[in-house]
Copies of this chain bind each other. A is one copy, B any other.
Amino acid sequence: MFADAQSDPSLSKEEFDAQEPRLRAALLKAQYRLLERADRSLLIVVSGIDGAGKGGAINLLNEWMDPRHIHTLAFGAPTFDEQEHPPFWRYWNELPAKGKTGIVFGSWYVPLLLEASRKKPRPRRMTTYAEAITRFEAGLAAEGVQIIKLWYHLSAQAQADRTKVLLSSPETAWQVKPADRKVHKKYDRICRAGQQVIEHLNPPHAPWTIIPSADEHMRAIRTAQAVQQALQHRSPTPRAQVFNAPGLARRHSPDRLAQLDYHTKLDKEDYESELGLLQGQLARAVRSDAFRERSLILAFEGQDAAGKGGAIRRVTHALDLRQVDIHPISAPTPDELMHPYLWRFWRRLPRQGRIAIFDRSWYGRVLVERVEGFASTADWRRAYAEINDFERQQTDHGTIVLKFWLAITPEEQLQRFHERERSPFKNFKITPDDWRNREKWKQYASAANDMLARTDTEHAPWHVIGTNDKRYARVHVLKNIVAALEQTL
């Protein structure tokens, strides 16, 4: 792979001067074309041997391209904030919008490269990191994020020479950090690690390019060429099989909604007593010391008028307002549409000790977007695995994820619609959309059944609750939350 690892090819000043103007003009033209089309964003992952001039290459791109549309995304040690979320959260958070370019420094390859360059890499960890990266990159690529990865390479001799030259003058000596002086000893191991990573994580939708970096001119020209080619030629869409996500769904009947108990009722007195006691249990659980290290995500889905709002208010009544965020989810904003689908949900995840309640959720993609045709078939089909993976990343981090499908019968819905229409202060809740959705009852039910079959996982289970009787439903929502908390904490 590093065939030229010992050769350090170079480019004369004359050759460089001959190529520079044309290349810069082409690069800019391609950048503006991306900006205008805004059909995708570009992520440039910058990695490689220490001292190969990664920082210089980033400066070069900022100088040669229009820097107003480039974001340098440089990640160091995780901040407190970042530590309170799953590892990929920081990268999701910073994704550039369509039309824009992000240069990633300190990328998701850092933990894998560190592991791979140990004396004895631990195979289990290597596999875990590599699989997570594979899913992450494939998911982004499928959502219109083009990824290219640049490996800045130079020989051991060139690395040593560079340090020597820099150290020879006080004007440049500061560029050599203490860590750089130790790095030579590890050259072989880092090289091996890079080689391994490049070989195994080099899919057509997120390819590596090796940039010979000993010579400044060569490095500049090759960097600009790689970026310009990426801007000009869109990468292929990843194949579907890379989305196989962890956590297979549990087996259930294919028509869970039809088999639900819609008719059990709870009288008012029992309801109030049970509700109060459950709220007390919930209040104690989320104020416990054990919960401070965890967090809780509650996602509510269900037919219109199934009682999501009422159920959510009974839950929040038990919570400290300072501990909870409620996110009503409707159609994505223009800004959200310029990012991968799951981006807006990643940004709303609770930090440790906190609770996020979603009134509708990321399941929109396999429900409304599927039924109404807002998402392509390929998009919503792929979403099941993506969602399972998304939730799994949360639960692996220690977050408790519970999902509720609140189900009513068509007859009950009709009655509630009429009731809403008659009320001067509830008629805002009923719109022509609701009536239209009702006509597609069967399509929505079938989408919901598919969703339940494919995303009811051990780590993030669905609770399907009949809500013809609101009291019964609310008590059962609380019961499930309390049970999950008591089991986990």
Chain A residues with CB under 8 Å of chain B are: 21-22, 24-25, 27-28, 32, 55, 58-59, 62-64, 66-68, 72, 74-76, 79-81, 105-106, 169-175, 272-273, 275-277, 279-280, 283-284, 309, 313, 316-318, 320-324, 326, 328, 330, 333-335, 351, 359, 423-425, 428
Q: Are A67 and B328 touching (Cβ within 8 A)?
A: yes
Of B59, B171, B424, B425, which is within 8 A of A277 by CB? B171
Per the bound structure, the CA–CA distance linking A439 and B313 in Å amounts to 60
How many chain copies?
A: 2
Q: Are B276 and A24 touching (Cβ within 8 A)?
A: no
Minimum CB–CB distance from A100 to chain B (whole Å) comes to: 12
Of B63, B68, B321, B328, which is within 8 A of A58 by CB? B321
Given A80-B80, A428-B28, A67-B280 contact (CB < 8 Å): no
Given A171-B272, A326-B67, A321-B55 contact (CB < 8 Å): yes
Per the bound structure, the CA–CA distance linking A438 and B317 in Å amounts to 60
> Which residues on the B side are within 8 Å of A351 (C-beta)?
79
> Looking across the interface, which residue of chain B has its beta carbon closest to that of A275?
B171
Minimum CB–CB distance from A4 to chain B (whole Å) comes to: 26
> Looking across the interface, which residue of chain B has its beta carbon closest to that of A81?
B81
Per the bound structure, the CA–CA distance linking A63 and B335 in Å amounts to 29
Q: Are A172 and B276 touching (Cβ within 8 A)?
A: yes
> Which residues on the B side are within 8 Å of A174 (C-beta)?
279-280, 283-284, 318
> Looking across the interface, which residue of chain B has its beta carbon closest to that of A66?
B428
Minimum CB–CB distance from A276 to chain B (whole Å) comes to: 3
Minimum CB–CB distance from A479 to chain B (whole Å) comes to: 15
Q: Are B68 and A330 touching (Cβ within 8 A)?
A: yes
Given A68-B328, A280-B171, A321-B105 contact (CB < 8 Å): yes
Minimum CB–CB distance from A315 to chain B (whole Å) comes to: 11
Of B106, B313, B424, which is within 8 A of A59 by CB? B313
Minimum CB–CB distance from A181 to chain B (whole Å) comes to: 16
A–B Cβ pairs within 8 angstroms, 24 of them: A22-B424, A28-B428, A55-B321, A59-B313, A59-B316, A62-B313, A63-B313, A67-B309, A74-B320, A74-B321, A74-B322, A76-B323, A79-B80, A79-B81, A105-B322, A169-B276, A170-B277, A171-B276, A171-B277, A172-B276, A174-B279, A174-B280, A174-B284, A175-B283
The 8 A-B residue pairs with the shortest CB-CB distance, nearest first, are A171-B276, A24-B425, A174-B280, A76-B322, A80-B80, A25-B424, A74-B321, A74-B322
> Looking across the interface, which residue of chain B has its beta carbon closest to that of A284?
B174
> Which residues on the B side are within 8 Å of A25 (C-beta)?
424-425
Q: Are A280 and B170 touching (Cβ within 8 A)?
A: yes
